[in-house]
Structure 1
Amino acid sequence: MKSTSSHTMRLQSVRRATLAGLASLSLFGAGLAHADVDLSKSTVIATTKQMNVPVDGKFRKFSAQLNFDPAKPTAGSANVSIDTGSYDLGADDYNKQAQGKEWFDSAAFPAATFVSSAIAPAGGNQYRITGKLTIKGKSQTVVVPVAIASQGATQTFDGALPIKRSQFDVGTGEWKDTSVVADEVVIKFHLVAAKK
């Protein structure tokens, strides 16, 4: 039987790993801008619950091919790739566990991707971006709600997207039990991009 402290440490790493995967979802928002995303000013936080306690994690690296004109939103597109090993869980041992086969399996699946299929106005500065999210080789069609605002030479993109980690096989084996690490993960993002 595993010690309580060891089990708790593994749970924390799993939570954060799950959060990192979720964070990749929020990055779709980056694909909404026809501009370069400023990572130093942008944040992507994935929040899950471990034994009903919220845990946040950040995803650090991604690339995006962006095309968005607010005058022609339906003609826009987004193609985003997320490095599944680029999160910061606060400790190297947690990071390594999250990269493992039970969670992201980063060796086999180094990238999570989002490819948009439609962008629809939702009133005011609100948009709904439909696309395919792929994590750990599993794909789901998702709709990402995004608020876009312009100020000076920059545009900001804000939103939150709930996903189910089980739909992407994130958290297998003993971690498949959602009573310990919740199934739902919420990806919250604030992205800042320079206008072109």
Structure 2
Amino acid sequence: MKNTIKNLGIIALVAFVTFSFSTIGGTKKAIKTDKSKVVWKGYKVTGSHEGTITIESGSLTFDGEKLIGGEFVIDMTTINATDLEGEYKGKLDGHLKSDDFFGVKAHPKASLVFTKVKASGKNAYEVTGDLTIKGKTNSATFSISVYGSKATATLKVDRTKYDVRYGSTSFFDGLKDKAIYDEFDLVVDLEF
């Protein structure tokens, strides 16, 4: 009887440890947020701006070496420009956080949840996921490459789908050289 209880305890412990580090159909690998980076780049008629934004948490899910899923939470309060300094940087950072753009007081988090992952080559995948910005969710498709414990991805995002309308010729006429293009890029370097 004692051996049976002892064996059940060991089985329960092994099961707990196993399920803590794996999901049904795969193993989750947490993103090292301090070693991962997201760079944004926005374009306007007269040039462009770029900056960074912080990943709050995230993971990639693997079946062996094959990527099968992923999910991320982005801290929108960290959005900032890296191509400006001083007063102009402060103005752009504040404007990006305002309701004209990402409204971070009301929407401090954005998220991405993979819904479909398809191998497109060696270490390369085409991913479709649900991207949520400002409380609005739309499907996004992008490529991701995985090498060892690192991954890189580039996403092109149409900001108008997330109610980010400021300076958009899709909503405002007569902007001329004040126009800001609807699409912006996210370049993501992950370490897990």
The question of a shared fold, defined as TM-score above 0.5 by the shorter chain, is answered with yes
Letter of the 2:54 partner, please give it: R
Give the equivalent residue in structure 2 for 1:79.
71
Higher RCO, 1 vs 2 (CA within 8 Å, ≥6 residues apart): 1
Is residue 37 of structure 1 aligned with residue 31 of structure 2?
yes
Letter of the 2:99 partner, please give it: K
**Equivalent position to 1:128, from 113, 122, 126:** 126
Aligned length: 153
Task: Provide the C-alpha distance between the structure 2 equivalents of 1:86 and 1:77, rounded to a whole number of angstroms.
Answer: 25
Give the equivalent residue in structure 2 for 1:167.
161
How far off is 1:187 after superposition? 1.1
CA 1:121/1:70 → structure 2, altered by over 3 Å: closer, same or farther?
Answer: farther
Larger radius of gyration: 2
**Equivalent position to 1:112, from 103, 110, 113:** 110
Q: TM-score, normalised by structure 2?
A: 0.70
Indicate if the aligned counterparts of 1:52 and 1:182 stay in contact, CA closer than 8 A: no
Alignment of 1:46-85 (within 5 A): 46-73=40-67, 76-85=68-77
Q: Deviations over 1:23-50 (max 9, x none)?
A: xxxxxxxxxx943323343221111112
CA 1:189/1:163 → structure 2, altered by over 3 Å: closer, same or farther?
Answer: same
How far off is 1:72 after superposition? 4.5
Give the equivalent residue in structure 1 for 2:186.
187
CA RMSD of aligned residues (A): 2.2
CA 1:126/1:70 → structure 2, altered by over 3 Å: closer, same or farther?
Answer: farther
How far off is 1:70 after superposition? 4.5
Letter of the 1:181 partner, please give it: I
How far off is 1:111 after superposition? 1.0
* Structure 1 alignment gaps of length 5 or more: 1-32
How far off is 1:65 after superposition? 4.0
Q: Deviations over 1:39-86 (max 9, x none)?
A: 34322111111224132110124211432235443xx32221111111
Give the equivalent residue in structure 2 for 1:17.
none
Letter of the 1:46 partner, please give it: W
Point out the structure with the larger strand share: 2
